[in-house]
Structure 1
Amino acid sequence: MDERLFFPATERNRGPIGEVLSKILPSNGFVLEIASGSGEHGVTFQERFPNIHWQTSDPDPSYRKSISAWIKHQGLIAKMPQPLDLDVQKRPWPLTYEFRSSLKAIVCINMIHISPWGCTQAMFEESGNLLKEDQWLMLYGPFKRNGEHTSESNARFDQSLKVQNPTWGVRDLDVVSEVGIKNGFENHDVFEMPANNLSVIFQKR
């Protein structure tokens, strides 16, 4: 049985996200992806950046099955590690000493608006503990700027999220940046992305 999941948004945005990653990724080492979902991003970026060890993770067992199925389908079993059962709020994260010592960056795509605010706080706190100076955490997704939605579609999306779960919602980039600063990061760069999304690079000071 094919356990791969297919997310249309992932298929649309993996190219533009890959372009941003090509500007900032180190030449080697481990990258940790938080909330990897279907695994489509993970295998795409592992293939695009073969000198990187792309470590996926997700707390949802069905998503981890999908990630493993994508790794097998793309012939990456010998290269790409299996996904971790990682919930950002359960700390310390289940990372080996070898992984921690080789970690170069953390990537989180489309998570913080579909999780409670405490998940964003926990992600910054643990990332701040794990990453070294000049290493970075990248967030991708919709954001408010200066307290305002950047488009009508994002405003509607925000309302639909809050109907599903009142703890969800499009976050204000200024508020997210404040949490980053508290945990030793600076808002280093912001890339405008398709569909009114942003890629935001937080660099460890």
Structure 2
Amino acid sequence: MENINQDNRLNFPATTRNRESIAAVLSNYISPNSLVLEIASGSGEHGVFFQKIFPSIIWQTSDPEFVHRKSINSWIKHEELFSKMPEPLDLDVEIRPWPITEQIKSLIKGIVCINMIHISPWTCTKALFEESKNYLDQNNFLILYGPFIRNKIQTSKSNLYFDQSLKLENPLWGLRHLEDVNNIAIRNGFKHEKTIEMPANNLSIVYRLN
């Protein structure tokens, strides 16, 4: 029988390295008294960090993996955020409609997706844009963070090696071409507003609905 007091927190080292730089980007877009939906929240370390950095909002985590949702709940408990931060949603981008209540939908002002699209099939990127447009308006944002390949800009050796290792692990994974992602965004009524250079050869990409 599982010990209900067991600490199920997972630690993803990349989170500690990138959370402050991502928070700096988010600070330019987050509005008070709103809700931000995070897709594929993983361990939950980003979620609790952003909830503490931005106390005036609600940070709504989500993840399709049960072990990740257990970790998220453990992090929320560890950081004593249960009074503010809701439990993670069991959300798989490809299973639609997403399990978003009308109350959550009315509060959403932004959607954030960190390090997902290169470790999931391309169909997940398509689903992300196709469904996100149902919960946002022109004043809201969709922000992607992670490594990308860009036309006319040389890809770093570390990202090329990373891309190769991902494809060896799963042929459906791999770094996405930013131009391909932008085309999917445009097809779903989004405009590519900004590309922000981030540490360690990553990018933050900001989209808004037209």
TM-score between the two structures when normalised by the length of structure 1: 0.98
- What is the CA–CA distance in structure 2 between the aligned matches of 1:31 and 1:178, rounded to whole Å? 24
Instruction: Work out which of the residue numbers 146, 162, 166 in structure 2 matches 1:161.
Output: 166
- What is the CA–CA distance in structure 2 between the aligned matches of 1:28 and 1:197, rounded to whole Å? 29
TM superposition outliers: structure 1 runs of 4+ over 4 Å: none
Q: In the alignment, which residue of structure 1 is the partner of 2:3? A: none
Q: Secondary structure at the match of 1:24?
A: coil
Q: In the alignment, which residue of structure 2 is the partner of 1:125? A: 130
Q: Which AA in structure 1 matches 2:183?
A: E
Q: In the alignment, which residue of structure 2 is the partner of 1:144? A: 149
Q: In the alignment, which residue of structure 2 is the partner of 1:94? A: 99
Q: Secondary structure at the match of 1:75?
A: coil
- What is the CA–CA distance in structure 2 between the aligned matches of 1:51 and 1:107, rounded to whole Å? 17
Q: In the alignment, which residue of structure 1 is the partner of 2:178? A: 173
Deviation, 1:147, is 6.8
Can you list the C-alpha shifts for 1:69-100, whole angstroms capped at 9, x where unaligned?
A: 00000000000000000000000000100111
Q: In the alignment, which residue of structure 2 is the partner of 1:34? A: 39
Check whether the contact 1:149–1:155 (CA below 8 A) recurs between aligned residues.
no
Q: Secondary structure at the match of 1:129?
A: coil
- What is the CA–CA distance in structure 2 between the aligned matches of 1:22 and 1:66, rounded to whole Å? 25
Structure 1: 5+ residue stretches without partners: none
Size of the aligned set, in residue pairs, is: 205
- What is the CA–CA distance in structure 2 between the aligned matches of 1:133 and 1:23, rounded to whole Å? 16
- What is the CA–CA distance in structure 2 between the aligned matches of 1:143 and 1:61, rounded to whole Å? 28
Q: In the alignment, which residue of structure 1 is the partner of 2:54? A: 49
Deviation, 1:28, is 2.1
Deviation, 1:26, is 1.4
- What is the CA–CA distance in structure 2 between the aligned matches of 1:27 and 1:182, rounded to whole Å? 30
Q: Secondary structure at the match of 2:96?
A: coil
Q: CA RMSD in A?
A: 0.9
TM-score between the two structures when normalised by the length of structure 2: 0.96
Instruction: Work out which of the residue numbers 29, 34, 51 in structure 2 matches 1:24.
Output: 29
Q: Which AA in structure 2 matches 1:128?
A: K
**Given the alignment of the two structures, is residue 77 of structure 1 paired with residue 82 of structure 2, yes or no?**
yes
Q: Secondary structure at the match of 2:106?
A: helix
- What is the CA–CA distance in structure 1 between the aligned matches of 2:173 and 2:153, rounded to whole Å? 16
Q: Which AA in structure 1 matches 2:187?
A: K
Q: In the alignment, which residue of structure 1 is the partner of 2:112? A: 107
Between the aligned residues of both structures, percent identity stands at 60
- What is the CA–CA distance in structure 2 between the aligned matches of 1:125 and 1:148, rounded to whole Å? 28
